[in-house]
Chains A and B, each alone.
Chain A
Amino acid sequence: MRVVLASERPQIQHLLMDMIEEEPGAIVVGQAENAIKTLVLAENLRPDVAIIDSNLPYSVGLDKLALSRMSGLDIGQMICQKLPGTRVVILNNLDAQVLPEVSLSRDNQAFFSRERLRGTTSFKLQELCREAAPSEAPVFASVEVESWSASQQKDGSGAIGSGAISIAGGLYLIGTLWLAPYGVLLALGGVFMLAFGLFKKMTTRLWRKSR
């Protein structure tokens, strides 16, 4: 799956590049920072997917003028019209107020998401390409960034921390003698939680490596 991506902000380009290259079989073949360059790249490279920031300047972004950064949708529609084999994704939440620089850290987990009236779903580019043949209209999506602490919960670090605290609490209770049975239970719970956290951390690392 060959991908062209377009955003005026270099940080967004890096973020998208990382997200795309995490997908098996996906490769970024071109990057553009304005609408004209995006169209030229798409016409020359005929990518499977073009991912376009909706706040894209036509040629250059005029400083501090939001009105000069409105060409993402236009160029997306034009690519849909000219290149029926290319699936166009318009990213609609990449302005600095919605997705500030601080959230673009490589430690954070980022994923594509589609908001619909019946709910929001995350998706992979490959799923999008498998869904159906590219249509005449672009797909609208957003980039969601999960904070380090949330992804830590997911990769098991949270469970490890809670497990360690439970073990310490359990040992303390055992030390008081008269609460020893509860202490044993608490410590065993902690050991179980710690083992679970370590297992989750290991599998998450293996899964990330395999991607």
Chain B
Amino acid sequence: MYALVDCNNFFVSCERAFQPELEGKAVVVLSNNDGCVVARSNESKAMGIKMGVPFFQIRNLSDSGRLVVKSSNYVLYGDISRRVMSILRSEAPRLEVYSIDEAFMDLTGVDPATHRSFCLDLVRKVRLWTGIPVSVGIAPSKTLAKVANHFAKRYPGYRGVCTIDTDEKRIKALSLTPVGDVWGIGRRVAPKLEAMGIRTALDFVNMPREWVKGKLGIMGARTWMELQGSDAVPREELEARKTICTSRSFADPIPDLEELSLRVSDFAAICARKLRKENTAAGRVTVFMFTNRFRDDLPQYYPALSVPLDVPANSNQEIVNAALKGLRAIFKEGYGYKKAGVIVDEIIPESQIQGSLFDENAEMRERENVISELMDRFNTSDRSLLRLASQRPGHYAEGIRREHCSKLFSTSWDEMIEVR
């Protein structure tokens, strides 16, 4: 059995954990650059604010004080996510972290009779230790665990934990689940299925497997299997691991930070482009450089540093930003650098970056990445015609708009909560 642990309205919950005055209020969190809504509290959902709505359309609500608007504070969310995942891992070592706010727990070894109480304890513990409310869906397959999780969230009666462990419960849950809400069935496919009279997940599983395979391919057939209760999503798929590296030797050694920053920005942008091409995203960016090791007469320095990303990313902006952060941390004056490079790893399929900027709203994602894509079109692998203005040293985070950003409550000595 799997338990899908999902944080409720994660970004909003992170904000509330350190700003109790936000409790009970309508709150939304905006995407990078304060572009559009990426997270909503239940109160703002009830006001009819949709995911992905541009900020300017709801500005009047925030101006009139009916809505609290927050810029995304990914450092805070990343730290809280690590804490939540660490707690889960200490309780169930076989944990697959699926996104910043979701993880699958393998319940093998836990007595089935105690699954529910085990998970209720977990919900309580995460809430108490971090302030974050979570919901758990328990089922024999990951896709069904997702379905169960929706019910755990929707109906308070479950107290945060819903189990699908009998055929009766499974069929009832599927009959109440619109086919478009099923994990793995995209919003693009759903209208087609509905046009064929397949409205609920139950309608879907009642179709013959061969029919599903013919219409939706092997992935669709797998979703069908999963909804039948068999575990068909392999673990490896959630953990595709690979590395992309871009590096160059320089004709003349580069001694200064400014020039090196431009080069490293380019390398990082190339890595980001490769990620986008493969529809993947990286969780970590490493920058390294070498002096000329064949010149015994010169001082030698071979630094390297890995910068973890709070949310796996593939936009030029984020990858370049991380690489430059790393570069600034390891750069030392007084050396001639002969070679430098950027490595990205902890790579996952883009579709797995959930609850953040990607999966929830394709339209929004396009908006976020339009610049990166434009750059792809103009830039060849060796020459960058278009660069981010911020691919220059010293100008990074300043370029990003974050007018409503909360503090780094949990990670910065100067920004901790104030207590009277």
* A and B associate in one complex: no
Residues of A within 8 A of B (CB): none
